[in-house]
Amino acid sequence: MFGFVSRRAAVALVLALIAGAGPGFSQTLDLSPEQPGRPRAERDAAIAATIPKDFRFAEDGVLTVAVAPGQPPIATYATDARTVIGADPDLAQLVADLLGLKLKLVAVAWADWPLGLASGRYDAVISNVGVTEERKQRFDFSSYRKGLHGFYVKSSSPITSLKEPKDIAGLRIITASGTNQERILLEWDRQNVAQGLAPAELQYYDDQAAWGWRSRPGGPTRCSASTRPLPIRPATAASSRSGRSAPAGRWMPRPASPPAAAAAWPTPSRPPSTN
């Protein structure tokens, strides 16, 4: 979007503002469309001046940011069923404030963000996007949160460990299209099939309610990121690694840590990609 250094500076300042707020931030999720407690910032002239004069926003005077709702507290809809709220929309608001721009949030399906960003439909994506080497060939990133991947199963599940490719052989696993979780699972499954092991069955659903329902007794394992809620039937209490409360079940982190979640920006020096 802007020069790479200035992008980092903008997000770094936003994070400093958030960290400095301390106890002033609510520990409960406000689902109202008004969002009276949403953190705001004043325009920073030095940061705003780093935007090239010939840069064309998707809409003049507006920072247009894509967000995939449906994963509270990261992003979801308010009680009016149309206003997008959550931690990522809050961050988008702070960035827009610092740049002296109005904020326009565009609700998108998570798998659709690369095409919309590359085509210029929006200026940035702030939606729990993991940083990968492949994505860095197409987009610039400003990291703002560490993401950890893992598997989640029912508390009563006989599965006690999922650490390597052979552990998923023959399992039914819910994941999301276009995610790092899917990429890892597809590679693990490819290795298993090449070695003569039973293939895994990956299942895809459009929203949290659907895959939450499918995680009922007898349903598949869920492969998720710990920055997202993990839907399993109520049982003994459990928490995600991000510190947010999560439905009961057993969280089994994957040994290798994935990249951080980040805001994604189009890279002007590289050709757009539709992948």
- Asked whether the predicted pLDDT for residue 16 surpasses 50, the reply is no
**3-state SS class at 266:** strand
Give tens-digit pLDDT for 186-224. Answer: 999 999 999 999 999 998 876 666 656 555 555 565 555
Say if residue 75 is in the same domain as residue 165.
no
Give tens-digit pLDDT for 35-64. Answer: 999 999 999 999 999 988 888 999 999 999
* Torsion on CA atoms 114, 119, 122, 126, rounded to nearest 10: 20
Q: In this structure, what CATH number is given to the domain that contains residue 227?
A: 3.40.190
Say if residue 120 is in the same domain as residue 173.
no
In a domain, 274, yes or no: no
In a domain, 271, yes or no: no
Q: What are phi and psi for residue 125, nearest 5 degrees? A: -125, 120
Domains of the chain: total: 2
Say if residue 154 is in the same domain as residue 143.
no
Domain extent, residue 172, equals 149-253
Q: In this structure, what CATH number is given to the domain that contains residue 38?
A: 3.40.190.10
Say if residue 17 is in the same domain as residue 88.
yes
**What pTM, to 2 d.p., does this model score?**
0.63
Say if residue 11 is in the same domain as residue 112.
yes
Say if residue 94 is in the same domain as residue 63.
yes
Say if residue 124 is in the same domain as residue 10.
yes
pLDDT at 150: 84
Say if residue 116 is in the same domain as residue 155.
no
Rounded distance between C-alpha atoms, residue 250 and residue 153, angstroms = 5
